[in-house]
Structure 1
Amino acid sequence: MKKTILLAVFASVSAFAQKTYIQCGNLIDTRNQKVLKDMTIVVEGNKITEVKNGLHKGEKTDNVIDLSKKFVMPGLIDMHVHIESQTAKDQFQKRIQYSEADIAFESQKYANVTLMAGFTTVRDLGGSNVNISLRNAINRGSVVGPRIFTSGKTIATTGGHGDPSNGIGTKLSLQEEASNGVVNSAEEARKAVRQRYQDGADWIKITATGGVLSIAKNGKGPQFQDDELNGLIATAKDYGFGVAAHAHGAEGMKRALRAGVTTIEHGSFLDDECIALFKEKGAYLVPTIIAGKTASDSAKIPGYYHPFVVKKALETGVLIQDAFARAYKAGVKICFGTDAGVFPHGYNAKEFMYMTEAGMPIMEALKAATITNAFVLGMENELGAIEAGKLADIVAIDDDPTKDVKALMKMSFVMKDGKVYKK
């Protein structure tokens, strides 16, 4: 009996001690923005324990993964996704018809596709509480997907971008719980933040201006008053939340920046005063260029969007890349984010193409999608780089992205938390 127990303990200790040696022909150092030749990453459990010069194999009992012909980098981070849904001609109809169970099953598919595209971590900015349950299921290992930081439901104003009743006739009604993120005073804004805390959200998402895809006429006007923003953001800070503000129009952007938001999403109509406020306040721009371009293209398909949306998509979509270019060249801090769901999930890396077209070098764009995003998430000690002590989120592609940015669209290896999901 004692012998059996000892053997079992020895076997478990041996399994725990087993290491994985990942041989990297080209290791992209996103912190220092350079490519290192012939390196080996040593992984134990879910963490990187060592990064060594040369190609090593370890002991006979250790695993070896040969990526000597590939370009290896940290798992990518997308700071703006909507993993519960995906663009479609009947998307509005689905929003009315689908139950939370329907949404949950769909979201698992989108989560899997996102991870296989090399995005091992995402920040989900607005959906239902399915987001929170999906995050928990992925963390438990019940569902395959990226590590999720979620805002749960968006906080909006009546009729504003994010009000779930937009476009629904007066004969239909929503459950009261569906609209618990619609606020119209500083006190209601504070209460909504506290509700997100109780729900288990990681971030707060607000809609500081109108939006493109909501069925409402104005896509850029401000939608929160200063007292509402101040009450909301002060409460968010008390509860340890960062605040992401959807903002297309300049005035709403300025109000959100003055109030102290962490990130501005989109920034389509930013002006010089907005740029100055970004730099003064230390806020980050999440450009989502691919979303603007996709919405503009979809608006040209007859019947794809509501007429209100068509007009806004055609006006806004063509501006977003230029807005990013001006902000980047002026020294605004940039996070990589795409608004996945506005375009089909899994194409997130196409954003790198648009960022480089607008003047950001690919190595800077990769840094934005790793080092910078990890810092903004408060995960700089765990994510964003291939370094000893960090979580083993490691991805690889076949070709050199510094020579062909499109190479990032073809992910050939994905490890998240020390587990291989694609090879």
Structure 2
Amino acid sequence: MKSPCLLLATLCLTMSAAAQTICIAHVNMIDVKKNVTLTDQTIIIDKDRIVATGPGVKVKVPADATVIDGTGKYLMPGMTDAHIHFFQSGGLYTRPDAMNLTAYYPYQQDQEYVKKHLGDLMARYLACGITTVYDVGGPMGNFDIREKANHDTAAPNAWVTGPLVSTYLPQRLDENDPPIVKVTTPEEAKALVQKELPHHPDFIKIWYIVYPGHKADSTLPIVKAAIAESHANGLKVAVHATQYETAKLAVAAGADILVHSVDDAVMDPGMLKLLKDKQVLYIPTLKVMGGYYRAMTQIQPFTTHELAYGDPFVLGTLTDLQHMPGAYDYMGTRASIHFPDKADTIMATNLKLAQQAGVLVAAGTDAGNIGTLHAASFLEDLLAMQEAGLSNYEIIRDATLNAAIGFGKEKDYGSIEKGKIADLILLDKDPVKDLHALGDVSLTIHRGKVFKKEDLLPVTPEILAQQQLNAYNAGNLEAFLAPYSDSVKIYDQTSGQLLLQGKEAMRTSYGKLFKVAPALHCQVVKRIVSGNTVVDEERVTGMQDKVLTAVVIYTIDHNKIIKVAMGM
């Protein structure tokens, strides 16, 4: 007879093994290679690999498999954001070279926040159905992030490089572990590539920036040297080259990946042929400049998806200029900059031309830049690709298989096939019919482990208070109401009078308020969190010339705000 300890160990081992075999039965499966949706498919996953796919009547389901009923649902590969930066938060203070607000909020504080909340950031990617990310340039610390991410099931696959080999040096970034290093000679470019080699980068990134008044080929020898050294060591090369001339020179010199759109000229047939013949991966990043625009103008068209899936504290910083007098002339910027501009039209045109010409295109956001949120902004880039004229099948392929091909990972990733890593997402609706379906992932299966959204996204009293505040500032009624319980009660703190009861009463009252006061802005002057209670000292502007101050007490139960006491 087995000892109790041995019996328990055997039982645990058996349960663990059983949990590693998963069957997704009777599901509509999107084949991204053939651009078709196959009905009544069954997929078997053992440990972290797909071991069988096919019609339900032909695939034998193991007796010990955990069965997920896919009837009426849609299965596709996990998505890939092919252009992100871990060292940037996406918040207002993350690029002091673009917006120098260090006198108000130290850059180091932004960097510390990023490092402290990296696990939360990773989980948000999985909650959005993004199972792979490519960090296309950052500090040497990127390699430690990759190590942690690729050994943590609750983090996406992370493929990274180190500091950008750059022809330009932005100011006020981290000098101790710089994300961008300026080189002035081919020898320095070669040496920087060699410096990264012991860390086993997944590719090398070049920032090919040409100063105004200089010719595009003035720094080409540096670019060529970095490409040659990278290729000599078996590494692909990604290049930031947004001008037609620099992009063409970079590709002719051997660049494997263009990490942004060409935005200053429409690509001609010769350029498109060059991209296709060289099998260059083209990552459009259509919305990143729009992120800067909304921060610099304080015109905040945050979507309901971004408000729900973005880090609420990072997102909250993006409206800070409204209560920082003299920090930045956002009203002047609003009057002088028009968005979308000519470059946006050119980028959309070039994406459509590239897709039609058979160029390999992959979806990417440049997440981490000001106003482009990690994970939550991905859907907006996909919708922008749709607006540019791509079909939903094309976009789904661009968001899955193509990045794997372009970065040389297609053996294991990018499609639902026997032998590949089990990175999948299950959807309630058909994304081929409506791309918005990608914004509501039912299940994420990553390396064979199943995740529900609620298991990945933290819900705390402070997060709920911040989410409703962000939505209030965005004037987004549905997102504002989401953190509240259906039976919420709102009281006057002084008299104890019940002011509103129920979410529908809030909908009516705040719906009217958002319409008559579209410039509403609430600043949290001070916040105290104690258990399930959040106390905010708030300052509200945007109601004509009035400035209101209040202390608001939020009471939370079962992950919803159930009571609000307001004291003016």
TM superposition score normalised by structure 1: 0.85
Match of 1:181, SS state, is strand
Distance change (3 Å), C-alpha of 1:277 and 1:62: closer
Offset at 1:318? Answer: 4.6
Is 1:119 the equivalent of 2:116?
no
Is 1:86 the equivalent of 2:89?
yes
Looking at structure 2, the residues matched to 131 and 85 of structure 1 have their Cα atoms a distance apart, in angstroms, of: 12
Partner in structure 1 of residue 34 of structure 2 = 32
Q: Percent identity?
A: 28
Looking at structure 2, the residues matched to 245 and 373 of structure 1 have their Cα atoms a distance apart, in angstroms, of: 15
Is 1:137 the equivalent of 2:148?
yes
Match of 1:201, SS state, is coil
Q: Tell me if structure 2 keeps the 8 A contact 1:208–1:252.
A: yes
Offset at 1:218? Answer: 5.3
Equivalent residue letter for 2:68? I
The unaligned stretches of length 5 or more in structure 2 are 97-101, 299-320, 322-327, 454-568
Looking at structure 2, the residues matched to 134 and 153 of structure 1 have their Cα atoms a distance apart, in angstroms, of: 14
Match of 1:319, SS state, is helix
Partner in structure 1 of residue 560 of structure 2 = none
The unaligned stretches of length 5 or more in structure 1 are 211-216
Distance change (3 Å), C-alpha of 1:373 and 1:300: same
Is 1:226 the equivalent of 2:229?
no
Looking at structure 1, the residues matched to 160 and 215 of structure 2 have their Cα atoms a distance apart, in angstroms, of: 26
Q: Deviations over 1:57-77 (max 9, x none)?
A: 835532111232321101111
Partner in structure 1 of residue 283 of structure 2 = 286
Looking at structure 2, the residues matched to 22 and 224 of structure 1 have their Cα atoms a distance apart, in angstroms, of: 56
Offset at 1:247? Answer: 1.4
Offset at 1:220? Answer: 11
Offset at 1:287? Answer: 0.5
Is 1:403 the equivalent of 2:433?
yes
Partner in structure 2 of residue 344 of structure 1 = 373
Offset at 1:352? Answer: 2.0
Offset at 1:30? Answer: 0.8
Offset at 1:28? Answer: 0.7
Q: Please point out which of 232, 237, 240 is paired with 1:238.
A: 232
Q: Deviations over 1:210-263 (max 9, x none)?
A: 6xxxxxx85997486222122111110122211111111112112211110111
Q: Please point out which of 145, 148, 159 is paired with 2:158.
A: 148
Q: Tell me if structure 1 keeps the 8 A contact 2:27–2:71.
A: yes
Distance change (3 Å), C-alpha of 1:408 and 1:233: same
Match of 2:73, SS state, is strand
Aligned runs of 1:167-178 on 2, under 5 Å?
174-175=175-176, 178=178
Partner in structure 2 of residue 48 of structure 1 = 50
TM superposition score normalised by structure 2: 0.64
Q: Deviations over 1:295-326 (max 9, x none)?
A: 34444337388x99996985644532222123
Offset at 1:85? Answer: 2.1
Q: Please point out which of 107, 115, 128 is paired with 2:139.
A: 128
Looking at structure 2, the residues matched to 317 and 369 of structure 1 have their Cα atoms a distance apart, in angstroms, of: 20
Q: Tell me if structure 2 keeps the 8 A contact 1:42–1:49.
A: yes
Q: Tell me if structure 1 keeps the 8 A contact 2:134–2:158.
A: yes
Aligned runs of 1:357-372 on 2, under 5 Å?
357-372=387-402
Looking at structure 2, the residues matched to 33 and 65 of structure 1 have their Cα atoms a distance apart, in angstroms, of: 24
Distance change (3 Å), C-alpha of 1:269 and 1:389: same
Looking at structure 2, the residues matched to 268 and 218 of structure 1 have their Cα atoms a distance apart, in angstroms, of: 16
Is 1:62 the equivalent of 2:74?
no
Aligned length: 406
Distance change (3 Å), C-alpha of 1:62 and 1:311: same
Offset at 1:406? Answer: 1.2
Looking at structure 2, the residues matched to 87 and 304 of structure 1 have their Cα atoms a distance apart, in angstroms, of: 20
Q: Deviations over 1:145-194 (max 9, x none)?
A: 2100001221112xx2xx24x258xxxx934x537722111110011111
Question: Which 10-residue stretch deviates more, 19-28 or 99-108?
Answer: 99-108
Q: Please point out which of 253, 265, 268 is paired with 2:263.
A: 268
Looking at structure 2, the residues matched to 189 and 403 of structure 1 have their Cα atoms a distance apart, in angstroms, of: 47
Equivalent residue letter for 2:223? L
Question: Which 10-residue stretch deviates more, 92-101 or 327-336?
Answer: 92-101
Q: Please point out which of 237, 240, 251 is paired with 2:245.
A: 251
